Amino acid sequence: MGKFKIAFYWCASCGGCEEAVVDLAEDILKVFDIADIVFWPVAMDFKKEDVENLPDKSIDVAFINGAIRLSEHEEMVKLLRSKSKLVVAFGSCAHLGGIPGLGNLWNKKFIFKRVYNEVPTVYNPEGTTPESKIKVKEGELELPEFWNTVRALDQVIEVDYYIPGCAPPPDVVKKAFETIFSGKLPPKGSVLGAENKALCDECPLNDTKPEKISLKDFKRIHQVKLDPEKCLLTQGVLCLGPVTRGGCGALCIKCGMPCTGCFGPLDKVRDFGARAMSFLASIFEYENEDDIKRVFEKIVDPVGWFYRYSLPKSLLERRNMKNIREEGER
């Protein structure tokens, strides 16, 4: 058998996932031994035509990171889908919508208003915003359309596998690559490189977690001096380990930061944030309405806590803008 043909592409992403590929360090040479890269805009000089000129299904695996925010993203991933045998959603944004997915709390109108007019560092007296088409002397220029709603990759095209993480740690990428190139493929839709067990299972602090956690109050990370040897939840810091897929090796926790859930939900869980809320509600001991209100009042941004990486793939997908639009408030 000849070499694999692989492609990498990025959509609405920060570039961290591209970095994650390079983070394989010397192992990336092994990838090049068995695979040829036919498209990787961030690292090599390829144009869209190069992909268009390939025969259908001639790319073995396309790794796509980033959420779908612009019409350009949609066009490119549809093109890659038609040219590829396998499509792998690489990283949290392609898998669940990721950080750009938090844009689903607003729509195009609000985002443009904020970014191009209201931000203190912006000077834009004419109120210019990007247009998808504009006529200039030399002819008509086009820019991609900005959608109201950010979508995860599998909400736009068919996705075969997922690699989780923001960004996927090198071990996870390596394991996922090994699985794909070994030819022993798991069932379609599997999450590669990580197990179907919660993060607590592999967390080094798991032994210090009591049978039942009972909290009176919770604290944000800057309000408490953390004991690095003790389960963060028992110290009152919200760690999403119990509802998050493991496989990262508890990297954040080893650095004294709570899990924020970038690996997403376990198999069969349809809404990550709903599970997280359910779990958080269960570890408080209050039975009195006033106490409950007082404690949960401290969560000023529930979407940011529970849906940091997964708003587009949650059940509701986006905020209901109906009333907000009329009031015109931010």
Partner 1 sequence: MNGEEFEPRIIVFACNWCSYAGIDLAGTSRIRYPHNIRVVKTMCSSRVTPEMVLDALKNGADGVLITGCHPGDCHYISGNYLTLRRYYLLKKFLKQMGLEDRVALVWISASEGEKWAKVAKEFTEHIRKLGPLEIKEV
User: In the complex, what is the shortest distance from the CB of residue 196 to partner 1, in angstroms, rounded to a whole number?
Assistant: 18
Query: Residue 234 — φ and ψ, nearest 5°?
Result: -70, -20
Pick 181 or 284: Cβ nearer partner 1: 284
User: In the complex, what is the shortest distance from the CB of residue 108 to partner 1, in angstroms, rounded to a whole number?
Assistant: 9
Q: How far apart are CA 40 and CA 36, in angstroms?
A: 11
Pick 35 or 283: Cβ nearer partner 1: 283
Q: How far is CA 182 from CA 21, 31, 174, 177, in A?
A: 18, 12, 12, 8
Q: How far apart are CA 51 and CA 83, in angstroms?
A: 8
User: In the complex, what is the shortest distance from the CB of residue 137 to partner 1, in angstroms, rounded to a whole number?
Assistant: 33
Vertex 10, ends 164 and 105: CA angle to 5°? 70
Q: How far apart are CA 227 and CA 218, in angstroms?
A: 15
User: In the complex, what is the shortest distance from the CB of residue 209 to partner 1, in angstroms, rounded to a whole number?
Assistant: 20
Interface residues toward partner 1, by CB under 8 A: 105, 107, 147-149, 270-271, 273-275, 277-278, 280-282, 284, 286-287, 289, 292-293, 296, 299, 301-303, 306, 314-324
DSSP 262-310: TT-PPTT-S-HHHHHHHHHHHTB---SHHHHHHHHTT-S-HHHHHSTTT
Pick 188 or 293: Cβ nearer partner 1: 293
Pick 221 or 292: Cβ nearer partner 1: 292
User: In the complex, what is the shortest distance from the CB of residue 248 to partner 1, in angstroms, rounded to a whole number?
Assistant: 24
Pick 224 or 281: Cβ nearer partner 1: 281
